[in-house]
Every structure is written in C-alpha cells, then in structure tokens.
C-alpha cells in the first residue's frame, strides 16, 4: 500500500508499505478520504520541523477486515461498514485517563512505519486500528465522515462550555472549527449564534450559513451584546470573549494559543458574576459517538458541504498541500483510489 510521508518543508513522497493485517480486537479500514489539518499545513510549510512524518488524522473509510475477538458481538464493526475513526491511542492508565479525561492522556500514541518513521496513519491506502475506535457513519459522504475528528473536538468544546438549549453563543474565529461550533450550536437549539472574525469573506460565509449576526472584533459587543458561551477558535480574542461574557457565562479556549498569552477574568467579576474560563482540548469517546450520530443523521450536512474546499486524488497530495499553504481554505481532502 502507499503512505504519504512529509520529509521536509515543501517535500512529500509516497512510500510503499506492507498491507496491514488486523490483530486481536482490530479492524482494517480502507481509507476513502483524509483531511489536511493545521498540523499537516504547518509541517509542509516548514513551521513545524518534525521530519520525516507520515501525518493524517482526520479520515474515514470502509472496513475490509476484522481481527480475532471482533466478530460475533451485537453492534460490533463488520466488513463493509462505512466509518469515521479515532487514530490516537490512549494509554488508559495515566492520571487523566483514570479520571475519564482521556482527551488529556499523558501517553497518547501514534504508529511507526517499517523504517521507524512516525505515522499518524490517515494519509495511507488502509490502516489497522482498534475496533473500539471506529464509529459508523451510514451513507454520509466520506468527506463529511472525514471531519469526524474535528467534529468530535468541537462537541467536546460545547460540553466543556456547559452549552444548553437557549444559550446565546458567540464564536470568535470563522474558520473550519468556528463553523463546526456554529453548526453544533444550531443543532443544540442556541437562541442566537454570532461569529466574529477579521475576514469579511468569512463573516459573509458564516452569515450565509445561518449565523444570526456577524461582526469584526471592534464591533462585536455592539452587534451581539452579552453572551452565555463564547468559543475562542482563533489565536486571539480572549479579552474580547471575557468582555462579552454574560452573568454566569463561560469562555471556552478552543484554539492553540501562544504559551505566554494570559487568559484572565477579574476576581470580582468571577465572584459576583460567576464568569469562568475553561479550556477544551482534543476529544473523548462520547464526543465521537455524538459527532458520528450527527454525521449519520444528515442534520449538519449542508454546513459540512460548504466546508469542503477541494478534493484531490491521493497521488496529487503535493498539490493539495500546496493549496492549503498558499491560500485560505476550510478543508481540503485527499482520496485514495481503490479497485
């Protein structure tokens, strides 16, 4: 089978690897689509120097084989199932895992290729993974299913923020993650949803997708007023989020931030108004289950359609990576071809 390996800034090659076979409690998935995330963009652009590496962690496909211990149980994955899947393995024994916070596992594991190259697994023809890490997606498009991982991360974010039906929601950042937050808040019956961004193009797209209001940062408070939950999906905007937090409101820090950037709410505001700041990182099994159910249902299909910027055959992955490093995109996918 073929595996894509980023070997340096601007360099990617397709390598031949042995076809995977399922071990106990594993399945083999033939990859149908894999999205290019910020991690891969930074690798290809040279902003994250971790070479060589076989990336790709937002993927979906079809189960083609099951290992010992998988068959025979009700609800167990079966050959032919169309699935999205979690490519990170949690240890299950560290402190966070024992407390049920597997998103914060101290020993998250990936994979290695035959020559020792670190691999995440998604940019390949097929992959063997734990059967408990696959989630059925029914007849949903594979590009939608390949967004299972970012959807699960955003579901986790809403859980962290204590989001409830009727909440007034603001989302800082109108990129892919902001738009998925918006779709989830809509399905969850938010009373209003606003999107804040510095890009007028992204604000227009959010408005077209159903946002109740949009604004640039300097106009956000006047446009949207006070909010119950504010999701910060951009690399800035923490102070604005705190300023917009209603009494009892929550600011959710979803994006990756500069390690030196402070996130504070005044002690008196926290005490008298019960405003809080929480973080949201990665995802957990329940987030995957809910996210996969949404994908299956088609309830957010229109939103997901609008987030597919382009698709490329796997053999043209270099062109796909060049696209995401040269212009703004939502999600670009590579699609391996199978007989």
Domains of the chain: 2-147+307-335 (3.90.180.10), 153-279 (3.40.50.720)
The 10s digit of each residue's pLDDT in 208-234 is: 999 999 999 999 999 999 999 999 999
- The CA-based diameter of the chain, rounded to the nearest angstrom, is 64
pLDDT at 171: 99
3-state SS, residue 143: helix
Q: What is the DSSP string of 273-324?
A: H--EEEE--S--HHHHHHHHHHHHHTTTHHHHHHTEEEEEEGGGHHHHHHHH
Q: Retrieve residue 90's tokens.
A: 């949690």
Q: Retrieve residue 58's tokens.
A: 């937002």
Distance CA 218, CA 203 (A): 14
Mean pLDDT of the region 154-173: 99
The 10s digit of each residue's pLDDT in 18-77 is: 999 999 999 999 999 999 999 999 999 999 888 999 999 999 999 999 999 998 777 899
Distance CA 116, CA 14 (A): 16
pLDDT band with cut points at 50, 70 and 90 for residue 108: confident
pLDDT at 71: 80
pLDDT at 74: 75
Of 87, 83, 86, nearest in space to 286 by CA: 86
Q: Retrieve residue 38's tokens.
A: 């910020």
Q: Is the pLDDT of residue 88 over 90?
A: no
**Residue count (the chain):** 339
Q: Retrieve residue 210's tokens.
A: 């159903």
Mean pLDDT of the region 245-256: 97
Distance CA 334, CA 122 (A): 10
The reported pTM is 0.96
pLDDT at 211: 98
């Amino acid at each position: 089978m073929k595996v894509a390996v980023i070997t340096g800034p601007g360099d990617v090659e397709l390598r031949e690897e042995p076809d995977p076979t399922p071990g106990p409690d594993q399945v083999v998935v033939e990859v149908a689509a894999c999205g290019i995330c910020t991690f891969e963009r930074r690798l290809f652009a040279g902003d994250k120097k971790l070479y060589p590496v076989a990336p790709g962690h937002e993927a979906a496909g079809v189960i083609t084989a099951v290992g010992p211990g998988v068959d025979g149980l009700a609800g167990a994955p079966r050959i032919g199932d169309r699935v999205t899947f979690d490519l990170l393995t949690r240890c299950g024994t560290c402190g966070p895992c024992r407390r049920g916070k597997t998103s914060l596992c101290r020993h998250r594991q990936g994979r290695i290729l035959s020559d020792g190259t670190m691999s995440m697994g998604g940019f390949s023809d097929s992959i063997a993974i734990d059967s408990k890490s696959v989630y059925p997606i029914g007849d949903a498009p594979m590009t939608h299913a390949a967004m299972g991982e970012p959807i699960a991360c955003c579901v986790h974010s809403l859980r962290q923020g204590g989001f409830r039906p009727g909440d007034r929601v603001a989302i800082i950042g109108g990129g892919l993650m902001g738009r998925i937050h918006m779709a989830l808040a809509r399905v969850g019956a938010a009373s209003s949803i606003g999107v804040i961004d510095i890009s007028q193009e992204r604000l227009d797209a959010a408005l077209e997708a159903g946002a109740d209001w949009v604004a640039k940062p300097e106009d956000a408070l006047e446009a949207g007023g006070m909010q119950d939950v504010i999701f910060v999906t951009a690399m800035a905007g923490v102070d604005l989020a705190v300023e917009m937090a209603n009494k009892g409101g929550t600011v959710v820090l979803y994006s990756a931030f500069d390690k030196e950037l402070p996130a504070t709410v005044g002690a008196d505001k926290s005490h008298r108004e019960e405003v809080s700041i929480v973080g949201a990182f990665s995802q957990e099994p329940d987030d995957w289950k809910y996210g996969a159910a949404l994908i299956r249902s088609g309830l957010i299909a229109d939103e997901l359609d609008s987030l597919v910027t382009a698709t490329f055959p796997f053999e043209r992955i270099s062109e796909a990576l060049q696209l995401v490093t040269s212009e703004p995109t939502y999600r670009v996918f590579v699609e391996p071809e199978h007989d």
